[in-house]
Amino acid sequence: MNEVTTGPAVLILLGPPGAGKGTQARLLEERFGLIQLSTGDLLRAAVAAGTPAGRAAKSVMEAGGLVSDDTVLAILADRMAEPDVKAGVILDGFPRTAGQAEALDALLARTGQKVGAAISLEVDDEAMVGRVAGRFSCAACGEGYHDAGKPTATAGTCDKCGGTAFKRRADDNAETARARLQAYHAQTAPLIAHYRSLGVLESVDAMGAITDIAAALGSFVARQTG
């Protein structure tokens, strides 16, 4: 069993695009009151707002590459400075490079914290492109759907909030998904060995039902949040 950190829980979800990191982070947020912190969401907000960081990130994101460590770290450090993160965080899509992992450790060390668990969502690469290319979400509440795997019960209406506007990410197409998978294997997958060597790695088979995966993750997180 892993050592439990003294401060708020800091959990990492690792896995390729389409593995379900965002879906599972949202469920953990609801169940444990932790804060989902997605660098992809923060970057998309920066792009939409037209900030300097957003302008630097836009074309890289559209091509499925990784935004520079400096840009991502600046955005993450700002978000980590907000008071709500004291509840504990689930990092979704961060760290993605060895440099980001080191910088995260340094950032946490300033407040006597460390990573409590890094949970790797294990999936079949082959299935990921199809998962990513068909996904969309409710523009009002963010509930996620998939054209084939999880359509809305009533066409055009969100099951959760009744909203009727939906959105698709610009980078959720087959070509960009392949580039994102490549970036994952080249730069992010090595972090699995890194967190294993620190004794904080957990792995979950993430090809099954969302609820089964959530139950497995919940048991790891319950240990961290005591």
- Catalytic site residue 21? yes
Residue 89 neighbours by CB distance under 10 Å = 24
177 counts as binding ligand AMP under rule CB under 6 A: no
191-to-142, 159, 186 alpha-carbon distances in Å: 29, 36, 10
193-to-10, 98, 119, 197 alpha-carbon distances in Å: 18, 11, 12, 6
Q: Angle at CA 225, nearest 5°, toward 224 and 226?
A: 95
Q: What is the spatial distance between Cα 214 and Cα 218, in angstroms, rounded to a whole number?
A: 6
96 counts as binding ligand AMP under rule CB under 6 A: yes
Choose, by CB under 6 A, the member of 39, 120, 137, 224 that binds ligand AMP: 39
67 counts as binding ligand AMP under rule CB under 6 A: yes
Q: Which residue has the tokens 């299935």?
A: 127
Contacts (Cβ under 8 Å, ≥6 apart) of 107: 76, 77, 80
User: Coil, strand or helix: which one is 115?
Assistant: coil
Stretch that binds ligand AMP, among 88-96, 145-153, 158-166, 203-211 (CB under 6 A): 88-96
Residue whose CB is less far from ligand AMP, 54 or 116: 54
46 counts as binding ligand AMP under rule CB under 6 A: no
Residues 97-136 close enough to bind ligand AMP by CB under 6 A = 100
Active-site residue, selected from the candidate residues 55, 86, 167, 168: 168
Choose, by CB under 6 A, the member of 16, 64, 116, 163 that binds ligand AMP: 64
Helix (H) or strand (E) holding 123: none
Choose, by CB under 6 A, the member of 9, 37, 66, 80 that binds ligand AMP: 66
225 counts as binding ligand AMP under rule CB under 6 A: no
What's the closest the beta carbon of residue 1 comes to ligand AMP, in angstroms? Answer: 28
Residues that bind ligand AMP (CB under 6 A): 17, 38-40, 43, 60-61, 64-67, 72, 93-94, 96, 100, 171, 180
